[in-house]
Amino acid sequence: MSKEIRLKRGFTIQIEGEADKSLMSSTFKIDSYAVKPTDFYGMCPKLLVEEGTVVKAGTPLFFDKADERIKITSPVSGVVSAIVRGEKRVIEQIKITPDEQIEYIKFGEPVGAGYDLSSQTAEQIKSKLLESGLWAYIRTRPYHMIADPDAQPKMIVISTFDTAPMGPDYDFIAHDQKLHFQAGLDVLAKLTEGKVHLNIHEELTRDDVFLYAKNVEINTFSGKHPVGNVGIQIHHLDPINKGEVVWFVNPQDVIIIGRLFLDGVLNATKIVALAGSELKRTGYHKIVAGACIKSLVESNLIDDATPRYISGNVLTGKQILQDGYLGFYDHLISVIPEGNYYEFMGWAMPGFFKFSFWRSFFSWLMPGKKYVLDTNYHGGHRALIFTGQYEKVLPMDILPMQLIKACIIEDIEAMEELGIYEVDAEDFALCEYIDPSKTEIQNIIRKGMDLVKQEMS
Amino acid sequence: MLRKIIDNIKPNFQKGGKFSFLHSSFDAFETLLFVPNKVTTTGAHIRDSIDSKRAMAIVVIALVPALLFGMFNVGYQHFLSQGETVDFFTTFLYGLWKVLPIIIVTYATGLGIEFAVAQMRGHEVNEGFLVTGMLIPLLLPPDIPLWMVAVATAFAVILGKEVFGGTGMNVWNPALIARAFLFFAYPSQMSGDKVWISGKADAYSGATPLAEISSGNLDIVSAQEMFIGLIPGSIGETSKIAILLGAIILLWTGIASFRIMFSVVLGGLTMGWILNFIGGESIWTQVPAYEHLLMGGFLFGAVFMATDPVTASQTGTGKWVYGFLIGVIAVVIRVYNPAYPEGMMLSILLMNTFAPLIDHYVINANKKRRLKRAKIVAEQTI
């Protein structure tokens, strides 16, 4: 049964710089790509290539020591130009200099619209995904990691809308890719005995690609951020109990999976949103996964910009450098100003132009106004004092303060009882945003999850 | 300009500097003047404009109407008892002259201890005392000796807060600890009908409405007078108008919990009605329920003391229960224990004690819901 779920709690951050809904012309040339093993939580990478190795799109770069079937493959063809290691020789980046024309490894014959999956077993589909490296797009809750191929998920969830600040519009992204998206959904449907849930937003989702998708259960959600997070959605569809597993896939990654089965190749071309108040022009770019962002942003900065580049959204994304690379799971590049300035008596000012969840600044006089938001903490770290606030931005039957405290004191039993399996760090991002005590809540939750996982394995 | 001076002297207070032992104090003053330039490194890249200082400043602002009215009323009661008529300005000035020293002594004592403790622990100075330091004077009678204020404040900050680990860890509301300390240690200065008017003429009756009823005089003060607040009492508690103004600020900004405020009032009214209905020998049972809200520190407690997030229940449902019981118990103490006409203080301190217990049951209910769900699933799969 399709469900209709309305959530009242949540919060929209009125940030300036949302991506303009137009595809920007691709006159630029991207001269470097990279895969970052650090994008994969809990993975222990073992390299299969070295500097100078010639690769094609689909050549394995490294695999997970814990499960050798899980490989990460190159998104483009070219030459491995560098392997960047960080502290303790952790592999941070595998850089690839691309060929003029991408050469693809063939994982099957191109069949186009006449594809037929009925003759293929789940095992065959799984091995094809694993072999091509696209398995990595299927992630699991709890723990937010690459799915275990042997696990039996009780459902697979796809959230087709992103409510995060400046989040990409999947309606726009998927519009012309109906065939591939549907093929991806059909592939996923083969992988679970449960259902594939396609979650749409009552107001945001308008495109037929999602509204008329087949072979899935379509659920309608309404509300503000974080309703777009799969964690919130799973909690309201069928919460995760201890020992249960749910898989989730990003809609654009579903399309890439669809291409593998229709075209027989790993074509990791993505439409990525470029957003933020530090840019002259925002919009969407068609690029290949792992692209270096330099040529996209370099000549596009406003005057006197002090940019921070983020792969992902401003709440959960990772900071990258100007010559950094788009993250494996990201479909958005946010560029916002750094906030390394002092503000004289800032806490005492009326604050007509200070955006806040609280109405302690007079900016509440202007609802709907958008603000340029920077990376300043706007205050020092203090004790956790205020209660009943996190609940307002976490639409789940979870006691956030108690769970956070259980994670801080590393009480695994309490964490389990309070629902650690149902949450992910990203679900707490808004709590972290509104927190006057400036506590690093996402870190605390992530550490709690890691601890539970360690204990369970 | 100012920034330059601070940047110049800053190295002295950092690790290895001459005055590095004063690090916390320097930091407190620096952040008071300038919101730091620290940028996010992990987690969310953007953070809300609010910080602990702003939140505490809002509570202090919410207390200002009660404070200003309190100052005026101190003067007003003084000249009334003397039988003099003076202009508004003189009245206010007299109050200011009486109240300001109390505020200064409270802040000096409390902040002194806070800074010293932060220094010892190597913490940043928490802003919680900005509120406590404003609450304590408002809970006191105007003629209280200043040394008592200092002793009570020190007692409250050290034994009421710091021994538990500082801001955010205390069990009882520190301001109420200060008042309770004075109430039990120096009862002659904190109760009776002599202390509530500053420089009172001996012949003049200076009893508060609560005291009047305790001595058997119902209806001496009308509800309207109690609402406006030109009556004897603690400095900040008398004007319900000023307190309601503060309540509006706290609720609108989202700093204080509506659930607690509302349920305290509801609890007081409910218990008042029940006692009206049951009746009894005590004259207290004849007090209309709504007058309980207007008398003594009930409303002040409901708006400013019960809502202290650290000592209140932390869970949503818990807040309803916690607030309701505060209202109920405050009225019960007033009616059945005439020795303590001001039941609000004891009621809030009592419920502070039980707040973790209330939370415990709410949290357990949440855990049980989850466990039950997991069990149903487990049974189905078997």
| CA dist., res. B293 & res. A387, Å (int) | 26
Neighbours of B11 (CB within 10 A): 13
Does residue A230 carry a pLDDT above 70? Answer: yes
As given in the structure block, the two tokens for residue B38 are 């620290």
Mean pLDDT, chain B, rounded, equals: 87
User: Residue B78 and residue B196: Cα distance in Å, rounded?
Assistant: 10
Question: What's the pLDDT at B190?
Answer: 76
pLDDT-based confidence at A345, cuts 50/70/90?
confident
- Say what the pLDDT of residue A93 is: 94
> What does the pLDDT read at residue B8?
77
The alpha carbon of residue B277 is apart from the nearest alpha carbon of chain A, in Å, by 36
Tokens of A111: 């069949």
CB–CB contacts below 8 A, A to B: 215
pLDDT (average), residues A228-233: 95
Alpha carbon of B168: minimum distance to chain A alpha carbons (Å): 5
Which helix (H) or strand (E) is A123 found in, with range?
Answer: helix A122-132
Q: How far is CA B90 from CA A75, A201, B76, B96, in A?
A: 81, 64, 9, 10
SS3 state at B320? helix
The pLDDT-based confidence of A347 (bands split at 50, 70, 90) is: confident
Q: Which of A166, A378, A412 to mutate to test the interface with B (most CBs of B within 10 A)?
A: A378
Percent of chain B with pLDDT over 70: 95
Q: Is the pLDDT of residue B233 over 90?
A: no
What is the pLDDT of chain A when averaged over all its residues? 92
B373 → closest Cβ in A239, A436, A442: A239
**Distance (Å) of CA A134 to CA A250, A289, B51, B79:** 12, 12, 43, 85
- State the pLDDT at residue A1: 67
pLDDT band at B224 (very low <50, low <70, confident <90, very high): confident
Select the more confidently predicted residue: B285 or A236.
A236
**Among A132-141, B233-242, B276-285, where is mean pLDDT lowest?**
B276-285
- Rounded mean pLDDT, A348-377: 86
- So what's the ipTM on this one? 0.90
Torsion of CA B188, B192, B194, B198, to 10 degrees: 90
Position A13 scores a pLDDT of: 93
Domains of chain A: 1-27+106-265+268-338 (3.10.20.600), 31-104 (2.40.50.100), 377-456 (no CATH)
Taking a C-beta distance cutoff of 8 angstroms, is the pair A10, A233 a contact? no
Residue B381 confidence (pLDDT) above 70: no
Six token digits for residue A445: 């939750």
Residue A102 has pLDDT above 80, yes or no: yes
Q: Which of A239, A336, A385 sits opposite B45 (nearest CB)?
A: A336
Which residues are CB-contacts of A85 (< 8 A; sequence separation ≥ 6)?
A91, A92
State residue A62 phi and psi, 5-degree precision.
Answer: -160, 165
Q: Give residue-wise pLDDT tens across range B75-118.
A: 999 998 888 888 899 999 999 999 999 999 999 999 999 888 88
Using CB atoms, pick whichever of A345, A374, A378 lies closest to residue B48: A378
Q: Which of B37, B47, B369 lies at the smallest CB-CB distance from A438?
A: B47
Note whether B373 contacts A241, CB cutoff 8 Å: yes
Closest CA to B200 of B143, B160, B154: B143
Q: Is A272 helix (H, G, I), strand (E, B) or coil?
A: strand
- Say how far apart CA A190 and CA A196 lie, in whole Å: 9
Separation CA B84–CA B70 (nearest Å): 19
Amino acid present at A207: D
- The predicted pLDDT at position B341 comes to 66
The CA distance from B128 to A314, in Å, is 30
Of A329-333, B42-46, B215-219, B253-257, minimum mean pLDDT range = B215-219
Answer yes or no: are the C-beta atoms of A161 and A170 closer than 8 Å: yes
State how far the Cα of A5 lies from the Cα of A290, in Å rounded to an integer. 35
Write the residue in B41, B44, B58 that is nearest to A433 by C-beta. B44
Asked whether residue A327 carries a pLDDT value surpassing 90, the answer given is: yes
Rounded Cα–Cα distance for residues B141 and B339 (Å): 18
Average pLDDT rounded to a whole number, residues B357-362:
96
* Rounded Cα–Cα distance for residues A444 and A454 (Å): 15
pLDDT at A127: 93
Element (H, E) at B67: helix B52-82
Asked whether the beta carbons of residue B47 and residue A432 sit closer than 8 angstroms, the reply is yes
Q: Model confidence over B135-165: pLDDT tens digits?
A: 999 999 988 999 999 999 999 999 989 898 8
Residue A223 has pLDDT above 90, yes or no: yes
Residues written for chain A: 457
User: In this prediction, what percent of chain A has a pLDDT beyond 70?
Assistant: 100
Task: For residue B261, count other CB atoms closer than 10 A to its CB.
Answer: 21
Rounded (5°) CA angle A232-A238-A242: 95
Give me the amino acid identity at B379: E
Helix, strand, coil percent content, chain A, rounded in steps of 5: 30, 25, 50
CA distances from B173 to B59, B161, B350 (A): 15, 8, 10
Residue whose entry in the numeric block shows the structure tokens 């693809």: A104
Could you tell me whether strands A139-141 and A91-98 are parallel, antiparallel, or unpaired per DSSP bridges?
unpaired
Task: Determine the distance in angstroms separating the CA of B41 from the nearest CA of chain A, rounded to an integer.
Answer: 8
Please write the tens of the pLDDT for every residue from A36-50. 999 998 899 999 999
**CA-CA distances (angstroms) from residue B334 to A103, A401, B139, B183, B348?**
86, 35, 18, 15, 13
Nearest CA in chain A to B313: A387
Contact residues, chain A, for B58 at CB < 8 Å = 360
Residue B382 above 70 pLDDT? Answer: no
> CB–CB of B54 and A347 under 8 A?
yes
pLDDT at B126 over 90: no
A315:B45 CB<8 A: yes
**Looking at residue B3, what is its pLDDT?**
76
- At position B109, the amino acid (one-letter code) is T
Identify the CA nearest to A12 among candidates A164, A212, A187.
A164
How far is residue A242 CA from its own chain's centroid? Answer: 24
Q: What spatial distance separates the first Cα and last Cα of chain A, rounded to whole Å?
A: 35
pLDDT digits (tens, 9 = 90+) for A154-199: 999 999 999 999 999 999 999 999 999 999 999 999 999 999 999 9
Kindly tell me if the per-residue pLDDT of B378 is higher than 90: no
Predicted pLDDT of residue B38: 84
CA A233 to chain centre: 15
What are the sequence ranges of the domains in chain B? 2-33, 54-202+211-255, 257-382
Chain A residues inside the 8 Å CB shell of B128: 383, 385
